[in-house]
Structure 1
Amino acid sequence: MSFVVFDQETAKADIDGITVTPLIEDDSSGVTDRFQIVGKANSERTLRISIGNFGIKRLRLRIQPTNATTSMDGKIVYKNVVRAGQYGLQYSFSDMTKPQTITIKPNSTKDLTFKVKLPKGKINGLILGGFNVYDISGNSSGNANVPVWITDDNKPVGGILSLRNLGLDVIDKKPHMIVNLQNKEPGMMKNVIIHMTVKRKSWLDRFNLGPKEMVADLTYPKVAPNSRIPVDFDQNTTPIEAGTYVVKGAARSGKATWTFHKTYKITQDQANDINKRCKGLIYNKTTTYILIVCVLVSLIFLIFWAIWYSGRS
C-alpha cells in the first residue's frame, strides 16, 4: 500500500504570524489539502510538519492529534477532543500518535515528526483525523489544523443521520437550545439540508397563546464521519423554560432522506443553570397576566353573586 502526503502548501492558520506546512514525501496523487494514509493494519507511517513563527512574540504551541467534528455552520473542525466509541467512532487518531508541545521564537521555524501507528484491526470506511495547533502561552488566539485521512481500501462510504439528543448551552452569554443529530457512519457527507422544529408543550396551546414553534433551515456543506451535527436555536434574550419539548425534522443528502420526531424534558434545575449564566434575559409574563385576569374575573363574579344573593335574602 502507498502513503501519500500533499505538497508543501501552507495549511490554513488562524494564529497571527504562524504558518503550518505539511512536508511532502510523495505528491503523485495530486492531493493538496491533507495527509492521506492508505495502509495495512498495524503498520507505521511518518508525518512531518514545519511550523514557522513570523510574529514578534515567543509562542508555546500545542500540536494535538484528534478527530474531525462538524461545526454549527457545517465546517470540518479539529478543536474538540474525540475518543474511540463516540458517535460510533472505531479508532481515535489520538491513540495512533502522540501530541507535542514546542516553544518557538520569533522569525524561526521548527520541523516536527509524528509516528502514526495504524490500528491492529481492519479500518472500516474513513477515519478523518488531524492535528490541531494552538497557542498555550496566552500570547495569541486561534488555531491551525492539518487534516489526516486514514483508510484501509480507499473506497467511498456514505453517512446515515439519526437524532441523538436535545442539549442546552451558553454562547456569548446567551442561552442556546441545540438539537444534536449524529453521523455514526465512517463516511463524510456533503450538502446536507436540514429542516428542524422545536416546540415546548403548554396548556396555553389550546388558546393559541402557547410558545411559538422554533424553526431552523440549514445547509451543512460538509459533515464529518462519526460526528455530532449541532442544529442551533439561539434564544437571544428568551430564557430557557422547563417543560416537555417536541423535536421534529427532516434531513436530505443527495437522494437519501431521514425524518426525526422525539420528545425531551428539560427540568427546572437545567433551565435555571443555563439562565443564571446569561445576561439581558426578558421573561415572558403572559401566564402571569392570564392568571391575574382570571383572578380578577373570579373576584368580579363573586362580588356580583354576593350582591345577587343578598338581594334575594
Structure 2
Amino acid sequence: MNKKIIYLVSMMFFSLMSFISMQQVAQADISGLTVTPLIGDSNISDRFQIIGKPNSTRTLKISLSNFGTRDLKLNVVPTNASTSMDGKIIYTQNVKAGQYGLKYAFADMTQKKTVYVKANKTKDVSFKVKLPSGEINNLIMGGFNIYDSTGITEGNATVPVWITNANKPVGGIVSLHDLGLDVIAKKPHIIVNLQNKEPGQMKNVIVHVTVKRKSWLDRFNLGDKKMTADLTYPKVAPNSRIPVDFDQNTTPIKAGTYVVKGAARSGKATWTFHKKYTITQDQANNINKRCKGLIYNKTTTYILIVCVLVSIIFLIFWAIWYSGRS
C-alpha cells in the first residue's frame, strides 16, 4: 500500500514538474534538445524582457538540455527578429543595424557562443548584454538563434529577448522597400519586399500587391499577365522586411521594367505604394541558370519570325510589281 502511495505521489510530482517545464521551455526544433530561458521571478516565461537604462548591463542565462543519443555542438547567435513569408516572427536571419530603420542591433550588445552539450546532460550558458548608450525608442525585438554548428542535426531553437524603455504597445508603418529575386527549391521567385521601419510590432497586416512587367506586346494583349498577391501577416516584427513572394514555378525571370502597385492595412491605418523597378539581363540569367525545369515562352520569337516573313513576302511582291512597270 505504501509503495502505491509513493508511486502516485512521484507521478504527480513529475507531472507537475513537466508542466512547469513546458511553460518555460522556448521553441526548439532540434531533436533531443530542450532550451529553457532562466528568467527567475517573472510572470513572462517564454522570453527575456529587459526594461533598462542606457549603458546598463544585464546577465541572461539559458539552460540547454540534451536528451539525445549524441553530443551536440551548438551555436548560440544573437540577432534581431524578422518577419517570415507566412507572417511569423523568426530569429534565424543575420540582422544588422541600419537595416529597415533598425537603430540598434542585438548582435552588437552581446557575443555569440559555441556550446558543447553531452548526451543526457544539461548545460547553462550566460550572456552579458550591454544596452546601447543612446535612448531606446520603443521596442528592440532581439533573440538568440540556436542551431547545430556541425549541420548534422537540422532545425533551430529560439529564445526571444525584448528590450524597451517602457512597457507600452507601439504600432508600425508599412512602406515599399525594393523588388528582389531568389531561388527557392530550384524555382525562380520574384519577391516584393515591404518593410516596417518603425520599432513596433504589428499584428494582422493585410497586404494586396500586384506586379506587372511592361512590354510592347501589351498593345496586342499578348504581354505577361499581372501577378497578384492577397495576404495576411498575423505578426510583423519591428524594423523588418515583409516579404511578398511570387513563385514563378517553371516560368523563367525576364529582364525588363516591372511596375509594383499595392496597399497594406492594419486596423484603421492604410498605406499605398506604386513604383517601377528594372531587372537586368544579367540578374535574370543569374537566377535562371540556378533553376531547373524552366519553360521558355517563345511568343515574341514567333511574332518576330512572322513579321520577317511578311516583310520578305511584301518585298517580293513589291519587286515583282516594280519590275512589271519597268
TM range, smaller chain: over 0.9
| 2:244 corresponds to 1:231 | yes
Contact 1:88 1:185 (8 Å CA) reproduced = yes
Structure 1 or 2, whichever has the larger Rg, is 2
Single out whichever of 252-261 and 32-41 deviates more from structure 2: 32-41
Give the deviation of 1:37 after TM superposition.
0.8
Deviations 1:16-69 (A, max 9, x none): 111101113112xx3232111112222121211111111112111000011001
Aligned residue pairs: how many?
306
Give the deviation of 1:120 after TM superposition.
1.7
Contact 1:7 1:23 (8 Å CA) reproduced = no
| 2:23 corresponds to 1:25 | no
- Counterpart residue type for residue 249 of structure 1: G
Contact 1:65 1:131 (8 Å CA) reproduced = yes
Query: Secondary structure, in 3 states, of the residue corresponding to 2:24?
Result: coil
Give the deviation of 1:221 after TM superposition.
0.6
Deviations 1:149-207 (A, max 9, x none): 11001122110111111111111111111111111100000000101011111000011
Q: Equivalent residue for 2:88?
A: 75
Whole-angstrom distance in 2 between the partners of 1:8 and 1:167: 39
1:141-180 alignment to 2 at 5 Å?
Answer: 141-180=154-193
Match of 1:129 among 117, 131, 142: 142
- Counterpart residue type for residue 186 of structure 2: K
Single out whichever of 124-133 and 166-175 deviates more from structure 2: 166-175
- Please identify runs of 4+ aligned residues in structure 1 that moved more than 6 A: none
Q: Equivalent residue for 1:218?
A: 231
Whole-angstrom distance in 1 between the partners of 2:301 and 2:146: 52
Q: Equivalent residue for 2:14?
A: none
Contact 2:172 2:199 (8 Å CA) reproduced = yes
Contact 1:7 1:24 (8 Å CA) reproduced = no
Q: Equivalent residue for 2:257?
A: 244
Deviations 1:205-249 (A, max 9, x none): 011001111111111111100111111111111111111110101
Query: Secondary structure, in 3 states, of the residue corresponding to 1:190?
Result: strand
1:49-198 alignment to 2 at 5 Å?
Answer: 49-198=62-211
TM-score, with length taken from structure 1: 0.94
Query: Secondary structure, in 3 states, of the residue corresponding to 2:300?
Result: helix
- Counterpart residue type for residue 139 of structure 2: L
Contact 2:72 2:118 (8 Å CA) reproduced = yes
Give the deviation of 1:312 after TM superposition.
4.0
Query: Secondary structure, in 3 states, of the residue corresponding to 1:45?
Result: strand
Give the deviation of 1:7 after TM superposition.
9.1
- Counterpart residue type for residue 194 of structure 2: L
Whole-angstrom distance in 1 between the partners of 2:323 and 2:126: 97
Whole-angstrom distance in 2 between the partners of 1:284 and 1:57: 51
- Counterpart residue type for residue 131 of structure 2: L
| 2:26 corresponds to 1:11 | yes
Whole-angstrom distance in 1 between the partners of 2:70 and 2:117: 9
Give the deviation of 1:106 after TM superposition.
1.2
Contact 2:23 2:46 (8 Å CA) reproduced = no
Q: Equivalent residue for 2:288?
A: 275
Q: Equivalent residue for 2:279?
A: 266
Whole-angstrom distance in 2 between the partners of 1:305 and 1:138: 72
- Counterpart residue type for residue 9 of structure 1: Q
Decide which structure has greater helix share.
2
TM-score, with length taken from structure 2: 0.90
Q: Equivalent residue for 1:43?
A: 56
Structure 2: runs of 5+ lacking an equivalent: 1-20
Whole-angstrom distance in 2 between the partners of 1:7 and 1:88: 36
Whole-angstrom distance in 2 between the partners of 1:304 and 1:121: 81
| 2:273 corresponds to 1:291 | no
Whole-angstrom distance in 1 between the partners of 2:163 and 2:113: 20
Give the deviation of 1:9 after TM superposition.
1.4
Contact 2:37 2:45 (8 Å CA) reproduced = no
Deviations 1:258-305 (A, max 9, x none): 001000111111111111111111111000011111122222323333
Whole-angstrom distance in 1 between the partners of 2:116 and 2:39: 24
Contact 1:40 1:152 (8 Å CA) reproduced = yes
